[in-house]
């Protein structure tokens, strides 16, 4: 009996160790903490797959537990005044420094867009709440955090349009005056899918007729910027990395566009491009825009072009049109649309499938004459900036946060 118990315990420990352990590169700090953290994400992902297979709940519906687990009610404290409002029909959380008597100084502002693959996340999650408060206190800034609607309930372009409406509303002179914001010191920023939305808004705003107040800066944190080539060197190198493996990023892209699983399967095989999107592949040719050091052992092969690929229904246009839409993939705009963009801060991580998206954008922006600060973390992984809350607090998150805020302080 005792021997049987020992065998059971050893087997259980072995299974646990096998499940938790992952071949994470030695260069990554706090590897075991990352393994433990990712074991939770993997377990939830497996549960989501099973739930969808059994017809109980769709994959993203189960994964949304991550958002619910970290949701809080943002409240004011001794330094920060917090208000939940609605800007042009979209919920926002507004963070302001608590005014002292006679304080009439205009402040800088940061419009922040949360990540989560357009399907998960919330401005009311504790890591985003903490970041907003830190921006307020260290920059003496007004922070506007946007609660845009999510896919798959609201496919592209709804999340983008929500954000764009908020930005347009906030940039009205009367609204800026109400919140004591300096019209010449406003940035848009976001991480991951939020970085995608921030880049898209920056591009589209400059084309807005009669727009009087423009953005001074854009700060993009490991942004996702293109859906045409999902087989860049970073997608290949980091396909099994923690937090954002290739399968999950492809699923985010497909769910952003449609609930039709045919697109997911095509994207996994990198055979989702059609003749319309193929004409834009030149803008995401990593053999041209990626510095040689990031090519590694990989050789460029243009994604396959399939007649009728990307079919299905997204609103009135369908995924085939959405693939070629720069509001979804900001890397697809021509150089002429980049030249008048505001200065940029772009953070990339070595162990991230999205690394090459960010680096290619750095190359293209600089070639267009845009001032760019590129901060690359050789030991970084996707989502690092958000791991600031115990027990998943990482040292690299502090460094990322401090460097990000330092850039905003110097450039906004």
Active site residues: 192, 352, 382
CA distance 191 to 221: 4
DSSP string, 71-126: B------SSEEEEEEEETTEEEEEEEEPPPTT----EEEEEEE--STTTS--TTBH
CA distance 292 to 286: 10
Which positions ≥6 away from 136 have C-beta within 8 Å? Answer: 79, 80, 95, 96, 97, 142, 143
Q: Which helix H or strand E contains 376, and what residues bound it?
A: strand 372-381
CA angle, residues 136, 137, 141, in degrees to nearest 5? 35
CA distance 301 to 165: 39
Q: Give the residues across from 348 on adjacent strands.
A: 376
Three-state SS at 371: coil
CA distance 109 to 114: 16
- The Cβ of residue 409 has, within 10 Å, a number of other Cβ atoms equal to 14
Strands annotated E in 132-277: 142-147, 181-191, 217-221
Tell me phi and psi for residue 112, to 5 degrees. Answer: -110, 135
CA distance 398 to 157: 33
Do you find a cis peptide bond into 250, omega within 30 degrees of 0?
no
Q: Give the residues across from 83 on adjacent strands.
A: 94
Nearest to 310 by CA among 242, 239, 378, 262: 262
Which is it for strands 343-351 and 217-221: parallel, antiparallel or unpaired?
Answer: parallel
Name all contacts of 65-69 with Cβ < 8 Å and 24+ positions apart: 66/41, 66/120, 67/116, 67/120, 67/121, 67/122, 67/125
């Amino acid at each position: 009996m005792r021997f049987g118990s020992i065998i059971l315990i050893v087997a259980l420990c072995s299974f646990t160790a096998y499940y938790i352990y992952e071949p994470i590169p030695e260069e990554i700090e706090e590897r075991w903490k990352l393994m433990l953290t990712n074991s939770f994400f993997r377990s939830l992902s497996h549960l989501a797959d099973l739930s969808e297979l059994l017809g109980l709940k769709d994959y993203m519906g189960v994964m949304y537990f991550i958002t619910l687990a970290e949701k809080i009610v943002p409240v004011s404290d001794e330094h920060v005044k917090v208000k939940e409002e609605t800007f042009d029909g979209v919920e926002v959380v507004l963070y302001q420094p608590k005014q002292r008597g006679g304080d009439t100084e205009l402040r800088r502002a940061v419009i922040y867009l949360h990540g989560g693959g357009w399907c998960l996340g919330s401005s009311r999650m504790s890591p985003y709440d903490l970041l907003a408060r830190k921006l307020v206190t260290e920059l003496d800034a007004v922070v506007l955090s946007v609660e845009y609607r999510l896919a798959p309930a609201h496919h592209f372009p709804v999340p983008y349009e929500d954000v764009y409406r908020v930005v347009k509303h906030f940039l009205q002179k009367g609204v800026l005056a109400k919140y004591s914001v300096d019209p010449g010191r406003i940035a848009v920023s976001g991480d991951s899918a939020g970085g995608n939305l921030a880049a898209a808004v920056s591009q589209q705003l400059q084309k807005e007729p009669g727009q009087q107040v423009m953005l001074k800066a854009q700060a993009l944190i490991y942004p996702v910027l293109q859906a045409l080539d999902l087989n860049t060197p970073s997608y290949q190198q980091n396909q099994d990395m923690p937090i954002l493996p290739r399968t999950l990023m492809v699923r985010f892209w497909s769910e952003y566009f449609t609930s039709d699983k045919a697109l997911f399967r095509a994207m996994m095989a990198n055979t989702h491009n059609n003749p319309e999107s193929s004409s834009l592949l030149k803008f995401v040719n990593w053999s041209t825009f990626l510095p040689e050091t990031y090519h590694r052992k990989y050789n460029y092969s243009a994604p396959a072009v399939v007649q009728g690929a990307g079919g299905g229904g997204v609103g009135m246009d369908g995924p085939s049109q959405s693939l070629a839409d720069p509001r979804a993939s900001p890397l697809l705009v021509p150089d002429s649309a980049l030249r008048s963009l505001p200065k940029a801060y772009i953070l990339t991580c070595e162990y991230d499938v999205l690394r090459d998206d960010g680096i290619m954008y750095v190359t293209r922006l600089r070639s267009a004459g845009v001032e760019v600060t590129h901060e690359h973390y050789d030991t970084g992984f996707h989502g690092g900036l958000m791991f600031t809350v115990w027990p998943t607090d990482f040292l690299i998150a502090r460094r990322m946060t401090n460097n990000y805020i330092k850039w905003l302080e110097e450039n906004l």
